[in-house]
Amino acid sequence: MAYDKFTILKSTAVPLPIENVDTDQIIPARFLKATERKGFGDNLFRDWRYNADNSPKADFVLNNPVYSGKILVGGKNFGSGSSREHAAWAVYDYGFRCVVSSFFADIFKNNCLNIGVLPVQVSPAFLEKIFAAIFADPKTELEVNLPEQTVTLLSTGEQEKFDISPYKKDNLSNGFDDIDYLQNIKGDIEEFASTLPF
Amino acid sequence: MSKTLFDKVWDAHVVRKIEGGPDVLFIDRHLIHEVTSPVAFLGLKNRGIDVLYPERTFATADHNTPTINQHLPVADPLSANQLKALEENANTYGIRHWGLGHLKNGIVHVIGPENGITQPGATIVCGDSHTSTHGAFGAIAFGIGTSEVEMVLASQCIMQPKPKRMRINVTGSLGKGVTPKDVALFIISQLTTSGATGYFVEYAGEVFENMSMEGRMTVCNLSIEMGARGGMIAPDETTFDYIKGREFTPKGEAWDKAMTYWQTLKTDADAVFDKEFTFDGARIEPMITYGTNPGMGMGISHHIPNASEVEGGVATYEKSLGYMGFHEGEPMLGKKVDYVFVGSCTNGRIEDFRAFTSLIKGKRKADDVTVWLVPGSHIVEEQIKKEGLLDILTEAGFTLRQPGCSACLAMNDDKIPAGKYAVSTSNRNFEGRQGPGARTMLASPLVAAAAAVTGVVTDPRTLI
């Protein structure tokens, strides 16, 4: 599925300083019953965001109008657990284009990269600074620069580089996906398959 | 150059290496289910492309299916719609489909091995993180997202950077009442829920060498719970004995040829791992979790650790214990249990039901505990009946449900009510995993059985 190209994102950010945020929190299993990819943002962090009677939980950050933006900042080991891509879809559909954390679970990170959400891994110390800056002033902006592979806390100018494979960087920058690539090497794949014992 | 088992299987499947990018990895076997496949098929339709090798994909319905009255139409319209979409997509593209009611229907990671779809040296993926289960056979098996499901349907390949290599050795032997589930929960408690992220694990040592195939599946299944993409065990006689004669395993000359290859699938003596751990099997006791991730586990006779003793932030730890209604320093033994769930791709196989039944035999189900026994597949269900286990269970006041993922992720009606405590043989104790507000304690089938007959968290060693 095509997605918007990602280059430079300047935005305020939503802080979620909890560790090991698993994909069952990002989107509970009972909301995985769709056969199309739409509407998942409504159920992002469903059980942290809403009470059983569907009223919003006032103390959850997504219900606090002070915090907004296209960047979600999460604690260490963000996105652990299930492989459900619905978690990444929910993040995207809600309006986030980038998740910043000090550590990401593997499958979630991959899923994000495949759908146009940029996972940015920063050092634990820089993550703490980002949280502190946002809590001190929710209008604090971050700049995520994919071409330069930098994330900058605009209030202080502090900056860190982040890693991304050149292949994925190229995909995100141009809105390409892996299937485009794989369709172009179909001949190679068929030749390879003909040599396999299975 | 010396290679690990993982290197041998991975390298044999690389179609192309991309400079500064992932490997294009050929996938031998692709398993699909109703929840993570519909959007992938929709993607194919929108692009106007076909399934490249439909015979390499196998479809089953499991996540959404009811575990009672499976002969009736599925009542939940959204679940019914997903099941219908799977069937239609399978029919459209010529994919083998074992839907609800089919004799071979069951949980995707139970039916793969059961029918010989899972084989040593193969690459196996599924849009489900517990695909790591199949690594028990010396396969590279891991969970993928829906975009990748679409990739595999379209090209039989995915694009993956090669993970780093980790070996976990468990030496010696296991004590009484200590099961493969306890070994896995122990390892995860030592490494934490993210300790193996970025790695592919090989399990080695006497404990795994002496373990049954089903036990090995339980261990590999839980690899993802410490962040590893997958885990694998070198195939040996136990493996070959298990797979021989199953529907999709090679026969005759093809078997002999496969065996020649499969016997080479072991880590070379001087191969190097990026990380290695060794644990003494005798140190492991029956385990139980007390928190909201599978790394928060401990020996059943221990006390809940203080925040200062565990890795990670205090706020996250307190949030977790607060959700569970537990406190630092408390024992787990004696805690009230409202529900017991035996099943899932982790512990829903015949050996798990044998273990459960061995403990409850001659005892009675505790009155105030609700017990859900859910076989992993129809084949497991039939075996439970054939071996006479059902008679023993019925005698003790238990009933058997029909196969499916059930309360492991509570997508169907099998939900643990808010605030209630469940001892569960499944794989995740995340907040709300087994139903909104449900409180899960992960454990082995023996610990589940001990809770089912006493109504509290009980050390199974006192009952066997």
Predicted confidence (pLDDT) per residue in B243-258, tens digit: 999 999 999 999 999 9
Q: What residue spans define the domains of chain B? A: 5-275, 289-462
Strands B339-342 and A158-161: unpaired
- Please report whether residue A58 resides in a domain: yes
Q: Report the CATH number at residue A168.
A: 3.20.19.10
**pLDDT-derived band at B312, boundaries 50, 70, 90:** confident
Q: Is the pLDDT of residue A1 over 60?
A: no
In chain B, positions 322-341, which contact chain A (CB-CB < 8 Å)? none
pLDDT in tens, B217-248: 999 999 999 999 999 999 999 999 999 999 99
Closest partner residue to B143 among A83, A165, A193, by Cβ?
A83
The answer for residues whose C-beta is within 8 angstroms of residue B386's C-beta and 6 or more apart is none
Helix or strand run (H / E) with residue B209: helix B206-209
Q: Is the pLDDT of residue B311 over 90?
A: no
Total domains in chain A come to: 1
Nearest-5° Cα angle at B268, B263 to B271: 150
Closest partner residue to B145 among A24, A75, A85, by Cβ?
A85
From chain B, the residues in CB contact with A104 under 8 A are: 197
From chain B, the residues in CB contact with A17 under 8 A are: 315
For B370, the token pair is 């609700």
For B295, the token pair is 């790394």
Residue B30, beta-bridge partner list: B57, B125
Question: What does pTM read for this prediction?
Answer: 0.97
Judge contact between B85 and A35, C-beta under 8 A: yes
pLDDT of residue B356: 98
Helix or strand run (H / E) with residue B258: helix B252-262
Interface test with B, best of A109, A179, A190, A196 (most B CBs within 10 A): A179
Q: Which residue of B has its CA nearest to A188?
A: B15
Closest partner residue to A24 among B21, B119, B430, by Cβ?
B430
Q: Which residue of A has its CA nearest to B63?
A: A29
Contacts 24+ apart (CB under 8 A), A156-165: A156/A129, A158/A126, A158/A129, A160/A122, A160/A123, A160/A126, A162/A120, A162/A121, A162/A122, A163/A121, A164/A113, A164/A118, A165/B20, A165/B21, A165/B22, A165/B161
Helix (H, G, I), strand (E, B) or coil at B200: strand
Residue B202, beta-bridge partner list: B167, B232
* Mean pLDDT for the stretch of residues A14-36: 96
Instruction: Check CB contact of B314 with chain A, cutoff 8 Å.
Output: no
Q: Which residue has the tokens 């019914």?
A: B80
Instruction: Check CB contact of B144 with chain A, cutoff 8 Å.
Output: yes
Instruction: Check CB contact of B161 with chain A, cutoff 8 Å.
Output: yes
Judge contact between B234 and B267, C-beta under 8 A: yes
Using CA atoms, how far apart are residues B209 and B187, in angstroms rounded to an integer? 17
**Interface contact B194-A105, CB threshold 8 A:** yes
Q: Which residue of A has its CA nearest to B151?
A: A179
Exposure of A142 in the CB half-sphere (CA atoms within 13 A): 32
Q: Which residue of A has its CA nearest to B227?
A: A105
Domains B5-275 and B289-462 share a fold: yes
- Please report whether residue A1 resides in a domain: no
- Please report whether residue A126 resides in a domain: yes
User: What is the interface size between A and B, counted as CB pairs within 8 Å?
Assistant: 203
Contacts 24+ apart (CB under 8 A), A62-68: A62/A14, A62/A94, A66/A138, A67/A12, A67/A13, A67/A14, A67/A15, A67/A134, A67/A138, A68/A12, A68/A14
* Mean pLDDT for the stretch of residues A22-43: 95
Using CA atoms, how far apart are residues B254 and B258, in angstroms rounded to an integer? 6
* Mean pLDDT for the stretch of residues B401-410: 98
Query: What is the average pLDDT score of chain B?
Result: 97
pLDDT of residue B20: 84
**Interface contact A189-B28, CB threshold 8 A:** no
- Please report whether residue A2 resides in a domain: no
Q: Is the pLDDT of residue B372 over 80?
A: yes
Q: Which residue has the tokens 């950050």?
A: A61
**Interface contact A167-B21, CB threshold 8 A:** yes
Q: Is domain B5-275 in CATH 3.30.499.10, yes or no?
A: yes
Superfamily of domain B289-462: Aconitase, domain 3 (3.30.499.10)
**Interface contact B36-A84, CB threshold 8 A:** yes
**Interface contact A107-B229, CB threshold 8 A:** yes
What values do phi and psi take at A56, rounded to 5?
Answer: -65, 145
**pLDDT-derived band at A196, boundaries 50, 70, 90:** confident
* Mean pLDDT for the stretch of residues B95-105: 97
Number of other residues whose CB lies within 10 A of the CB of residue B81 = 17
**pLDDT-derived band at A2, boundaries 50, 70, 90:** low
Using CA atoms, how far apart are residues A113 and B433, in angstroms rounded to an integer? 25
pLDDT of residue B36: 97
Using CA atoms, how far apart are residues B47 and B86, in angstroms rounded to an integer? 19
The answer for residues whose C-beta is within 8 angstroms of residue B241's C-beta and 6 or more apart is none
In chain B, positions 381-410, which contact chain A (CB-CB < 8 Å)? 409-410
Q: Which residue of B has its CA nearest to A103?
A: B194
Q: Which residue of B has its CA nearest to A111?
A: B145
Domain of residue A99: give its range: 8-193
Closest Cα of chain B to A182: distance in Å? 6
From chain B, the residues in CB contact with A40 under 8 A are: none
